[in-house]
Amino acid sequence: MNVFVALVAGVIIGWLIEWVIDWLFWRQDDTRLKDRLQTAEADLRQAQSQLSENAARLQQLETVQQETVRLNAELSQARTSLEELESAQTASHTEIEALKQKLQTAETERDQGQTLIADGQQTIADLRAKVEALMATAPSSEEDMLERVKGIGAVFSGRLKAAGVKTFAQLAQLPPERVREIINPEEWQKIDPVSWIAQAGELAAKKAAK
């Protein structure tokens, strides 16, 4: 009986020991699983955080990319505008150079014209001097009364005779400009050299016909 009880007790004790061992073993595995689960949850939270950060960075990159596209478009437009400005500037420079060339040509022609005018004036002055010299060396003849020409008084007659114009024939041979130069009237004095010359010619012709 004692042996049976001892056997039963031994079986029970062995079962208890095995149960305790199994319980301790499974309890240890459960703790490990919980630790792994907590670690996995922590890793998952970290991964979600990183994913959220990556999504934010991706959004920032998309924004930067859109801004880059916009800036590239503005840069392309600016380059086009710059090329147009450079082309317009080149055209302006060409026009300016052409205008400079025309201005230089005009100045050259003006200088040539001034030279021709000066030469012409000198030629006229020389011819006048020759006419006056010829008149001075012409055979002397009696003086005419230049006052017979309508418009010529004693003062104007004296000025003409002082310049060597003493006869109707001499007065008829003078150009109007020379007559005006000899008389040198004041601004308020009105003279008609063309009429004087015509009258002098008629008077000279009548004198010669006598």
* Predicted confidence (pLDDT) per residue in 136-185, tens digit: 444 445 799 999 999 999 999 999 999 999 999 999 999 999 999 999 99
pTM for this model (two decimals): 0.35
Q: pLDDT-derived band of residue 197, with 50, 70 and 90 as boundaries?
A: very high
Structural domains in the chain? Answer: 140-209 (1.10.150.20)
pLDDT, tens only, 24-81: 666 665 576 667 667 867 776 886 777 678 777 868 867 878 887 898 888 788 788 8
Question: Exposure pattern of 172-209 as b/e (b: 16+ CB <10 Å)?
Answer: bbbeeebbeebbeeeeeeebbbeebbebbeebbeeeee
